[in-house]
Amino acid sequence: MATSSRREDSQRTKDRYGNSEGRTMLIDKQVNGSVRIHGENLDRKREKVECVVRQHPVRGSVPKAIEGEQVAAGWPAWLAAVAGEAIQGWIPRRADSFEKLDKIGQGTYSNVYRARDLDQKKVVALKKVRFDNLEPESVRFMAREIHILRRLDHPNVIKLEGLVTSRMSCSLYLVFEYMEHDLAGLASNPGLKFSEPQVKCYMQQLLCGLDHCHSRGVLHRDIKGSNLLLDNNGILKIADFGLASFYDPLQNQPFTSRVVTLWYRPPELLLGATYYGTAVDLWSTGCILAELYAGKPIMPGRTEVEQLHKIFKLCGSPSEDYWRKSKLPHATIFKPQRPYRRCVAETFKEFPAPALALMETLLSIDPSDRGSAASALKSEFFTTKPLPCGPSSLPKYPPSKEFDAKMRNEEARRC
């Protein structure tokens, strides 16, 4: 959806099946004039999810009395049954109080739109999460994201402003403050080169936001340029907590290793680690730092095997001691026959020395050597001249997002 003429018009209509309660459904008017009613087979889907939830209670559910109150407040029963704790204390916004303007992002299970909040008279971002079959597991993942976002409160972390749902719809909208750019979109502009004070400003904000997440017991697990949003005031905010998870450094809890976008994934995850912590986000942050200076991703692997090979070639292969103590699941498969020598400093010798020193730390093969976001903020990188500039003094750019760049590239290929 590139223009407002193609946006969906949401309105409500009375139940066509003679229901005396005047049940409502969400209708989408498409540009060709056809009308699709969301609500077909939804009763069966809701019965399915509620049945599964009753048989397999999940963490995050609330007592039945509270669940009933949430349904009475306007939340769909299927959502209250699975995500009761995440939505507790909130009132759903109405779909007709927003006007979609254009599509600004797309994921496997979600689309993001720029929209106008008609009640508050401002532009917002709407993230539409789809539940094609109302599977409890997918609803549970979304509930975790909401729960995490509600725990975080920092100028460098995106703020969840509300939720929009319909009793008859299989989707949920998350309402966020609107940000004009993302770092990947800006970096993709031909001829655009960031100044050193600008890079330091971005990195300082990223690490401040990350430090807040980690201090609140949250791992982001997908730090990359397209998830780092910027507004016209130069403020950077970490966004997209769809892969994020709660963690407790005092508890040894297993996680999945199938997280973090490939180019920013640390070696321990590629080797199958299931016990990890904040170091996974710090590796991704090191990749971002190098990318801002190099002007392109530094390890763009096409497969997991190729990605691991690129990491070993640049950062060196793990020591024998690391292989022995880590006991990683895929170690015997991917352990190189000969050790690789680390060559980060040689490869990026044109980078400023303080930036290179911070990069060396963040891109340590051993996660325990990467330090923390708080220690990175105290590095010489931020105290040596030129110092980080203030966000308000950053250059102004036209709206630029990775999604727009991808659309332009696809259009160019078709031509």
Q: Which domains does the chain have, with CATH numbers?
A: 38-177 (3.30.200.20), 181-404 (1.10.510.10)
How many C-beta atoms lie closer than 10 Å to residue 243's C-beta?
Answer: 19
pLDDT at residue 191, rounded to an integer: 82
Instruction: Give the other-Cβ count within 10 Å of 180's Cβ.
Output: 20
pLDDT of residue 170: 72
pLDDT for the residue numbered 7 = 34
Residue 127 marked as a ligand binder: yes
Residue 15's pLDDT is 35
pLDDT for 305 equals: 94
pLDDT on residue 16: 33
- Give the per-residue pLDDT at 412: 61
The beta-strand segments (E) located in 249-404 are none
Distance CA 301, CA 394 (A): 32
Q: Is the dihedral of CA 383, 386, 391, 392 positive or negative?
A: positive
Q: Note the pTM of the prediction, 2 decimals.
A: 0.81
Q: What is the pLDDT of residue 1?
A: 37
CB atoms within 10 A of CB 283: 24
Q: Are 402 and 188 in contact (CB under 8 A)?
A: yes
Structure tokens at 222: 């997908």
pLDDT of residue 258: 95
**What is the rounded distance in angstroms from the CA atom of residue 197 to the CA atom of residue 352?**
12
Q: Which residues are catalytic?
A: 222
User: Which residue stretches of the chain have pLDDT < 50?
Assistant: 1-59
Q: For residue 358, what pLDDT is reported? A: 99
Structure tokens at 78: 């299927």
CB 199 within 8 A of CB 270: no
Which pLDDT does position 336 carry in this prediction?
81
Residue 332 and residue 273: Cα distance in Å, rounded? 13
Q: Taking the C-alpha atoms of 33, 39, 40 and 42 in order, what is their torsion angle to the nearest 10 degrees? A: 160
